[in-house]
């Protein structure tokens, strides 16, 4: 066998490349400081529709800090995809990134988050926002905005009074063509409302105990029965965002549950009849209770492997301070977490969408920050689907809820130990 030249060239090439790779790090540090100013290269991740706003914020950031050469690049990775992209390769991820608060535990576990030591962050933001950014009593991200869902409605169909209660919404005779109320109940983000309203908790009282979920308690059965009745009502429809928007556009939808990201499109469709408010009350346990929504936060994190930690923290701090949050609020309808700004009723009420969100925030429950939450979504979807297609009925609801809770609390690890 003389595979000689072949293997030789490969070897040489491969070794050279690997050698070159390992040498690169050395040479980077030797970039001589001929220029007195330090050059800072940073990359920021944000959602595509925030890009314009971020560009403006960052331009201002650079203008006010002329002591360094800033080379800041914005790339598009939305809050929802942040964890997936970061976990693929932490060292290739952005220095400063936006992410949804339910990813914080996963990110922290993978060692991707830089601890926040700036004490100002804790004092200026609301306690709920801080708790969403906290793991083991340490803050790991800068809160940027709070997010939950609320009610959009068509003023030509419902009055301000009627949308206060789901029973009233459903009871109104709106004719054959119109769906009174829509909500995506095969999505845990929305469907958990009914359980929370009934008094159930997910992962214990403070949402950090991964062995606790009482959706299958008596209260949970009441919530599930309410959902079954609702789903069986012809005036209700289980609609996703696209269909909700299509429904409002065709004016065949009275009221629907959704979030800020749909505000612009729905406003455009309804025009003067655009209505938005907090979620309605539901009658459960012979008592009218406001629907409780799951709330989460958009957070700004600093990459643990950033080459410029001080500057990255400075930027993340800047992108989430009071002025930046006001820009976010004005340009993108984002609800602030800054206590002063959030307390500024005059400013907030100028924007009906954010006002509705803020009103709903009084009745919201913080989405847990433990990573067991990743086991919640699929079973919740399955349970919702079951209600819609009639496989979950009042007769077997308890049994289905037991399976639901079991799936939420399932852990591959423990089973593994049992199997041994």
Partner 1 sequence: MKQFFNAFIKGDLLTRLSFFILGLSNIFRGQIIKGLLFLSTEIAYLYYMFSYGFSAIGKLRNLGTVKQGWVYDENRGIDVLQPGDNSMLILLYGVFAIFITIAFLMILKSSATQAFELEKEIRRGKKPLSFYKEIAQYTDSKLHRTLLFLPVIGVVVLTVLPLVFMILIAFTNFDRDHQPPGNLFTWVGLENFKAMLSSGSTLGKTFFPVLGWTLVWATLATSLNYILGMLLAMLINKKGIRIKGFYRTIFILSIAIPQFVSLLVMRNILDDDGPLNVLLQKAGFVTEYVPFLTDTTLARITVIIINLWIGIPYTMLITTGILMNIPEDLYESARIDGATPVTQYFRITLPYVFFVTAPYLITQFIGNINNFNIIYFLTRGGPATLDYYQAGKTDLLVTWLYKLTVGSKDYSYASTIGILVFVISAVFSLIAYRRTSSYKNEEEFG
Partner 2 sequence: MKKMSSRRKAVNAVVYVFLSVLALIWILPILWVILTSFREETGSFTPYFLPKGYTINNYINLLTDNTTFDFTRWFSNTLLVSVVTCITSTFFVLSVSYTMSRLRFRSRKPLMNIALILGMFPGFMSMIAVYYVLKAFGIEQSLLALILVYSAGTGLGFYVAKGFFDTVPRALDEAAMLDGASRGRIFWKITLPMSKPIIIYTLLTSFTAPWIDYIFASVIMGDNYENYTVALGLFKMLEKEFIHNYYTQFAAGAVIVSIPIAILFISTQKFYVGGVTGGSVKG
Instruction: Please state, in angstroms and as integers, the Cα–Cα distance from residue 283 to each residue in 199, 277, 313, following that order.
Output: 13, 18, 47
User: Which of 125-133, 163-171, 353-361, 383-391 is the region at the interface with partner 1 (rule: CB under 8 A)?
Assistant: 383-391
CB atoms within 10 A of CB 154: 23
Q: Which does 418 bind (CB under 5 to 8 A by kind): partner 1, partner 2, none?
A: partner 1
Q: Which is nearer to partner 1, 177 or 413 (CB)?
A: 413
Q: SS in 3 state form for the chain?
A: CCCHHHHHHHHHHHHHHHHHHHHHHHHHHCCCCCCCCEEEEEEEEECHHHHHHHHHHHHHHHHCCCCEEEEEEEEECCCCCHHHHHHHCHHHCCCEEEEEHHHHHHHHHCCCECCCCCCHHHHHECHHHHHHCEECCEECCEEEEEECCEEEEECCCCCCCHHHEHHHHHHCCCCCCCEEEECCCCCHHHHHHHHHHHCCCECCCCCCCCCCECCCCHHHHHHHHHHHHHHHCCCEECCCHHHHHHHHHHCCEEEEEECHHHHHHHHHHHHHHEEEECCCEEECCCCEEECCEEEEEEEEEEECCCCCHHHHHHHHHHHCCHHHHHHHHHHHCCECCEHHHHHCHHHHHCCHHHHHHHHHHCCEEECCCCHHHHHCHHHHHHHHHHHHCCCCCCCCHHHHHHHHHHHHHCCHHHHHHHHC
Residue from 8, 38, 49, 399 touching partner 2 (CB under 8 A): that is 49
Binding mask 359-398 for partner 2 (x = CB under 8 A): ----------------------------------------
User: Which of 223-231, 321-329, 343-351, 379-387 is the region at the interface with partner 1 (rule: CB under 8 A)?
Assistant: 379-387
Contacts of 219 (CB under 8 A, 6+ apart): 195, 198, 199, 200, 285
For the bound state, the minimum distance from the C-beta of residue 347 to partner 1, rounded and expressed in Å, comes to 32
Q: Which of 172, 194, 193, 192 is nearest to 181 (CA)?
A: 172
Would you state the structure tokens that stand for residue 341, as one six-digit string?
A: 């700004």
Residue from 42, 85, 254, 290 touching partner 2 (CB under 8 A): that is 85
Q: Which is nearer to partner 2, 94 or 105 (CB)?
A: 94
Q: Which does 386 bind (CB under 5 to 8 A by kind): partner 2, partner 1, none?
A: partner 1
Q: Which does 69 bind (CB under 5 to 8 A by kind): partner 2, partner 1, none?
A: none
Q: Which is nearer to partner 2, 21 or 419 (CB)?
A: 21
- Assess 29 for contact with partner 1 (CB under 8 A): no
Binding mask 95-134 for partner 1 (x = CB under 8 A): -----------x-xxxxx-xx-x-----------------
Interatomic CA distance for residues 106 and 42, integer angstroms: 23
Q: Rule CB under 8 A: which of 90-109 touch partner 2?
A: 92, 94
- Assess 2 for contact with partner 1 (CB under 8 A): yes
Q: Rule CB under 8 A: which of 9-38 touch partner 2?
A: 17-18, 20-21, 24
For the bound state, the minimum distance from the C-beta of residue 97 to partner 2, rounded and expressed in Å, comes to 10
Q: Rule CB under 8 A: which of 311-350 touch partner 1?
A: 313
- 169 with 275: CB under 8 angstroms? no
Q: Which is nearer to partner 1, 81 or 285 (CB)?
A: 81
For the bound state, the minimum distance from the C-beta of residue 236 to partner 1, rounded and expressed in Å, comes to 13
- Assess 12 for contact with partner 1 (CB under 8 A): yes
For the bound state, the minimum distance from the C-beta of residue 1 to partner 2, rounded and expressed in Å, comes to 8
Q: Rule CB under 8 A: which of 235-274 touch partner 2?
A: 241-243, 245-246, 249, 261, 265
Which residues make up the interface to partner 2 (CB under 8 A)?
A: 17-18, 20-21, 24, 45, 47-49, 75-78, 85, 88-89, 92, 94, 241-243, 245-246, 249, 261, 265
Which residues make up the interface to partner 1 (CB under 8 A)?
A: 1-8, 10-12, 14-15, 18-19, 22, 84, 87, 90-91, 106, 108-112, 114-115, 117, 186, 237, 239, 243, 304-305, 309-310, 313, 371, 374-375, 378-379, 381-383, 385-386, 388-389, 400, 403-404, 406-407, 410-413, 415-416, 418-420
């Amino acid at each position: 066998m003389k595979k000689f030249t072949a293997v030789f060239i490969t070897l040489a090439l491969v070794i050279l490349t690997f050698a070159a790779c390992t040498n690169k790090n050395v040479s980077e540090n030797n970039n001589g400081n001929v220029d007195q100013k330090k050059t800072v290269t940073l990359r920021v991740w944000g959602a595509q529709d925030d890009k314009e706003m971020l560009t403006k914020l960052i331009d201002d950031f650079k203008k006010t800090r002329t002591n360094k050469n800033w080379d800041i690049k914005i790339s598009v990775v939305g809050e929802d995809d942040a964890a997936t992209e970061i976990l693929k390769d932490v060292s290739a991820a952005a220095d400063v990134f936006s992410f949804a608060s339910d990813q914080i535990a996963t990110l922290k576990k993978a060692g991707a988050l830089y601890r926040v030591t700036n004490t100002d962050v804790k004092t200026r933001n609301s306690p709920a926002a801080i708790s969403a950014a906290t793991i083991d009593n340490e803050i790991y991200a800068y809160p940027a905005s709070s997010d939950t869902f609320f009610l959009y409605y068509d003023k030509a169909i419902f009055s301000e009074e009627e949308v206060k209660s789901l029973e009233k919404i459903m009871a109104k005779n709106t004719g054959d063509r119109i769906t009174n109320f829509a909500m995506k109940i095969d999505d845990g983000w929305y469907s958990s409302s009914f359980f929370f309203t009934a008094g159930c908790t997910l992962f214990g009282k403070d949402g950090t105990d991964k062995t606790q979920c009482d959706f299958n308690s008596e209260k949970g059965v009441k919530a599930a029965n309410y959902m079954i009745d609702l789903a069986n009502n012809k005036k209700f429809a289980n609609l996703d965002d696209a269909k909700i928007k299509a429904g409002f556009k065709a004016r065949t939808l009275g009221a629907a549950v959704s979030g800020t990201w749909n505000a612009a499109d729905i406003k455009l469709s309804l025009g003067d009849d655009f209505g938005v408010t907090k979620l309605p009350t539901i009658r459960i346990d012979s008592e009218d209770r406001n629907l409780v929504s799951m709330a989460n936060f958009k957070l700004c994190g600093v990459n643990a492997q950033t080459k410029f930690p001080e500057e990255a923290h400075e930027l993340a701090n800047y992108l989430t301070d009071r002025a930046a949050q006001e820009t976010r609020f004005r340009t993108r309808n984002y609800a602030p977490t800054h206590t002063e700004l959030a307390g500024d009723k005059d400013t907030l009420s100028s924007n009906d969408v954010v006002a509705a969100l803020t009103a709903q925030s009084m009745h919201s429950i913080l989405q847990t920050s433990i990573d067991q939450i990743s086991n919640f979504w699929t079973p919740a979807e399955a349970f919702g689907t079951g209600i819609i297609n009639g496989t979950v009925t009042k007769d077997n609801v308890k049994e289905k809820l037991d399976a639901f809770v079991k799936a939420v609390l399932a852990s591959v690890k423990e089973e593994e130990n049992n199997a041994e």
